[in-house]
Amino acid sequence: MSFDELGLQAELLRAIDAQGYTRPTPIQAQAIPVVLQGRDVLAGAQTGTGKTAAFTLPVLQLLSGRERRGKAPRALVLTPTRELAAQVGESVVTYGEHLALRSTVIFGGVGINPQKDALRRGVDVLVATPGRLLDHAGQGTIDLSAVEILVLDEADRMLDMGFIHDIRKVLKLLPRQRQNLLFSATYSDDIKRLADGLLHQPALIEVARRNTAAQTVTQHVYRADKDLKRDLLIYLIDEGNWFQVLVFTRTKHGANRLAEQLNRAGIGAAAIHGNKSQGARTKALAGFKDGSLRVLVATDIAARGLDIDKLPHVVNYELPNVAEDYVHRIGRTGRAGESGAAISLVGQDEVKLLKGIQRLIKRDIEVLPVPDFVPKVLAPPPPKPAKQPAGGRNKGKRGSGKPPGRQGQARGNAAADTAKAPTRRRRRPAKPASGNAR
């Protein structure tokens, strides 16, 4: 099947052709015609299979064929992270190049005034994170009463990040009559409940088994405890000549520390996580994409929304606490039919997490033997304690925290002599003749 057979208009086909795409992915082939019919959609597909274009292309076509009334947004796309919002915004611009439609992206971490200016000029497609969208609503700088199409992208991640209350607040600001599209990489009971309350007789589109990674991603495990992981990662990057590696840690502090250690080892790296400013996150991602940084160390906030063409390697430096996040992490590689490799460094304390991941994806992950290698950074061995003579004076100070030397031995000998010396008994005071003990 080609894009020509999906019912897309010429302007969109020109934009698709300019990107070098000739055949739609399975999720695009199934979702685009259904969305063009105006139906609600519940779509589940592995990450990296082209979900963004699956809703962006038909939404653009639907809006271009309808009359614009006023300057309020007519389509709203909600995403969980800034990076994903920026990615979706880029896709809207790219595919809508030949259409007379306006779009903008709003999210936190950057100034709000330029966003107010863009909204004031008028917007057809608005891409937003829930928190910043509600900020605008609270300040009266946005009108959502004209929204015709609502898209919840990576809906499962939004629920994982605790956005359900914000989503409900946004829904109250929208008109009741609208088309709803819910896209998710994984399914859960929470997603089902959200879909039941949001969608009206939706078309269910599922192009792959639930909660699985793309078949184009090879998955392997190295059993390595904490004290070995850093040196093993450095070895794999150097010996494998890896030049673009996305590494995941559990914590922001851990991401910062690992990036610093890699830089000291001569491997250009930067960390990206929620505590980084938007400018720092954008700079790090740009450096990673253009090759000036070999390694990007990220927390799970970056597991969604990082769209890097032909990313070859993803490394789980630490396994995620939630098994579904493993699927999202390794989904950053093996995208759009390209091959990729996912490596996990698993310590003894992470064995249960690994078993949970294998139950979720319904397959065992091959364990590779740790290669024989000399660590790049070796801690100096602790000094051996010097043997102390039996006697003599010690010039050291008391309370210095040093092990007892001659002075300690002298005190020990004196104590022994004292123990052998006769002791003088102390006479006890006489008891009072009467009265209570005080």
Q: Write the pLDDT tens digit of every residue in 235-253.
A: 999 999 998 999 999 999 9
Residue-wise pLDDT tens digits, 320-356: 998 888 888 888 887 666 778 999 999 999 999 999 9
How would residue 95 be classed by pLDDT, with cut points 50, 70 and 90?
Answer: very high
Q: How far is CA 209 from CA 52, 244, 402, in A?
A: 19, 29, 63
pLDDT at 8 over 80: yes
**Do residues 341 and 217 make contact, with C-beta atoms less than 8 angstroms apart?**
yes
pLDDT digits (tens, 9 = 90+) for 44-76: 876 667 889 999 999 999 999 898 888 999 999
The 3-state DSSP class for residue 79 equals coil
pLDDT in tens, 258-293: 999 999 999 999 999 878 887 888 898 889 988 899
CA distance 121 to 119: 5
Calculate what percentage of the chain has a pLDDT beyond 70.
80
140 has pLDDT over 80: yes
Cα 247 vs. chain centroid, distance in angstroms? 10
Residue with the larger pLDDT of the pair 323 and 34 = 34
Please report, as a single letter, which amino acid is at residue 229: K
Q: What is the pTM of this model?
A: 0.65
Domain annotation for the chain: domains and CATH numbers: 3-206 (3.40.50.300), 217-368 (3.40.50.300)
Is residue 438 scored above 50 in pLDDT? no
**For the residues 24-31, what does the mean pLDDT come to?**
92
Strands 41-44 and 203-206: parallel
State both tokens at 208.
């792959």
pLDDT of res. 193: 84
Structure tokens at 301: 């906030």
Q: How does DSSP assign 293-326, residue by residue?
A: -SEEEE-GGGTTT---TT--EEEESS--SSHHHH
pLDDT grade, residue 160 (50/70/90)? confident
